[in-house]
Amino acid sequence: MKIVSIVGARPEFVQVAVLSRILRARHHETLVHTGQHYDDRMSEKFFADLAIPKPDVNLGVGSLGPSAQVAEMIRGLSDAIAAAAPDVVIVRGDTNSTLAGAIVAKQLLLPLVHIEAGMRSYDRTMPEEINRVIADHIADIQLVTDDAARTRLASEGIVRGVTVCGDVMLDVFLGAREFAPRSLSSELRALAAEPFDLVTLHRAENTDDRDRLDAIVAGLARATRRIIFPVHPRTAARLREFEIALPATVTAVQPLGYLEMVALECAARTIFTDSGGVQREAYFAAVPCVTLRDTTEWTNTVDAGWNRLVGASTEAIAAALQAPPEAPADHPPLFGDGQAAQKILAALESPETAEIIAAAHAVRIARGYAASEAAEGGTGTAARDWSGAVTL
């Protein structure tokens, strides 16, 4: 099978790490990086830390306003995907790279696979909510982390092509956890030697709203222990622009590499974050999480008692810093068994996927999209039965 995988932002590099290796053992993957994230510490370091294959194509789109960024991605992706002539296109999550990849795949009449489908915050002021709703509704194959996501999709009329696979970020986390501490510099190691809380903050609704950013920083000022805060470039820019100084309780550091981050997550007393990935990793690490948002897609962690939503309330943040949430006794496997990538592979090799690929191929031939494929008698993979393939 020929696969195009699209990545562009930090969490997508993590999500592709194990899966790419597993897919490449049996299929042909073209990895396309939109260039949404481009600083060494936001991109290159993840490829190095996680031994991710170098992208076959990097569109170098960079930072633009949201519409211009998606437009540039669409322009570049349509050439890159058409050139790769894949059987399927894979996007993941909810970034602008996800949205652009999803739109181009469907404009090219290619089967679209959405990993981490079926998540909702029900807050349509978030760009991520718009991106994930659109990707879910145009995808052909929905790979979801749990049954609740499947039910959510069903409530929106999406029932075909849905498979529960668990969370591929857990696969990566489990593989990294043990040797992550070795990645720490002596400075980070010294910081982590004393009890600390870990903070990440980058969502537009927090960083671009001066009052919310001010209120969160005021809460952090009331910490009783040291806070380690790897600062996303977006947040660094807004703190400068709004002239908001970080309090003495906070040690700000550059964005961390994945291994450094996992090491600090596992050692933290409490994790304060507005990140989707970090909320889940807090759960993987069995560290209580305080989410600096009014809503979350990851309500399962809240329901299990491991995650508390505090929004941008100075008082609620201060209270959680001063009387940290207790770790509940139960830690059920909310995100699967760490074998999500294998389940994704199985879903891609299923007869149902083969049917979807064959149907899309027939439509492309009929509409003249795939004249060269027709001349070659098809891609040769569309109706192939993968069930006899070697198990890894």
Residue 277 within binding range of ligand UDP, rule CB under 6 A: yes
Q: Which of 14, 50, 285, 344 binds ligand UDP (CB under 6 A)?
A: 14
Start-end of H helices in 253-350? 258-267, 276-284, 299-303, 314-322, 340-348
Side by side, the strands of the sheet bearing 162-164 are: 57-58, 28-33, 2-7, 88-92, 112-117, 141-144, 162-164
- Please answer whether residues 286 and 331 qualify as being in contact, where contact means their C-beta atoms are separated by less than 8 angstroms: yes
Residue 255 within binding range of ligand UDP, rule CB under 6 A: yes
Q: Which of 273, 216, 222, 214 is nearest to 243 (CA)?
A: 214
Residue 11 within binding range of ligand UDP, rule CB under 6 A: yes
109: left (phi over 0), alpha (psi -120 to 50) or beta: left
Residue 291 within binding range of ligand UDP, rule CB under 6 A: no
Could you confirm whether 202 is annotated as catalytic? yes
Of the candidate spans 37-45, 214-222, 242-250, 341-349, the one that interacts with ligand UD1 by CB under 6 A turns out to be: 37-45
In DSSP terms, which residues pair with 271 in a beta bridge? 198, 289
> Cβ contacts of residue 275 below 8 Å, gap of 6+?
11, 200, 202, 203
Q: Which of 10, 92, 106, 212 binds ligand UDP (CB under 6 A)?
A: 10
- Please answer whether residues 257 and 229 qualify as being in contact, where contact means their C-beta atoms are separated by less than 8 angstroms: no
Residue 127 within binding range of ligand UD1, rule CB under 6 A: yes
User: Which amino acid is located at 26 in the chain?
Assistant: R
- Shortest distance in whole angstroms from residue 157 CB to ligand UDP: 26
Cβ proximity to ligand UD1: between 4 and 70 the closer is 70
- Shortest distance in whole angstroms from residue 259 CB to ligand UD1: 17
Q: Which of 75, 222, 225, 234 binds ligand UD1 (CB under 6 A)?
A: 234
Q: Which of 5, 30, 96, 342 binds ligand UD1 (CB under 6 A)?
A: 96
Active-site choice (27, 33, 202, 361): 202
3 state DSSP class of 384 = coil
- Please answer whether residues 226 and 327 qualify as being in contact, where contact means their C-beta atoms are separated by less than 8 angstroms: no
Residue 281 within binding range of ligand UDP, rule CB under 6 A: yes
Long-range contacts of 74-78 (CB under 8 A, 24+ apart): 74/100, 74/103, 74/104, 76/34, 77/6, 77/32, 77/34, 77/101, 77/104, 78/104, 78/107, 78/108
Residue 230 within binding range of ligand UD1, rule CB under 6 A: no
- Please answer whether residues 294 and 197 qualify as being in contact, where contact means their C-beta atoms are separated by less than 8 angstroms: no
Of the candidate spans 68-76, 115-123, 209-217, 276-284, the one that interacts with ligand UDP by CB under 6 A turns out to be: 276-284
- Shortest distance in whole angstroms from residue 378 CB to ligand UD1: 35
- Shortest distance in whole angstroms from residue 95 CB to ligand UDP: 7
Residue 8 within binding range of ligand UDP, rule CB under 6 A: no
* C-alpha neighbours within 13 Å on the C-beta side of residue 307: 29
Kindly list the distances between the CA atom of residue 161 and the CA atoms of 31, 114, 124, 157, in Å, as whole numbers in the listed order.
23, 10, 25, 12
| Cα 296 to Cα 284: distance, rounded to the nearest angstrom | 17
Q: Which of 4, 6, 7, 9 binds ligand UD1 (CB under 6 A)?
A: 9
Of the candidate spans 58-66, 215-223, 239-247, 275-283, the one that interacts with ligand UDP by CB under 6 A turns out to be: 275-283
Residue 209 within binding range of ligand UD1, rule CB under 6 A: no
Residue 202 within binding range of ligand UD1, rule CB under 6 A: yes
- Shortest distance in whole angstroms from residue 207 CB to ligand UDP: 12
| Cα 33 to Cα 30: distance, rounded to the nearest angstrom | 10
- Shortest distance in whole angstroms from residue 10 CB to ligand UDP: 4
Residue 276 within binding range of ligand UDP, rule CB under 6 A: yes
Binding residues (CB under 6 A) for ligand UD1: these are 9-11, 36-39, 42, 63, 94-96, 127-128, 202, 233-234, 237
Binding residues (CB under 6 A) for ligand UDP: these are 10-11, 14, 200, 202, 230, 255-258, 261, 275-278, 281
List active site positions.
202
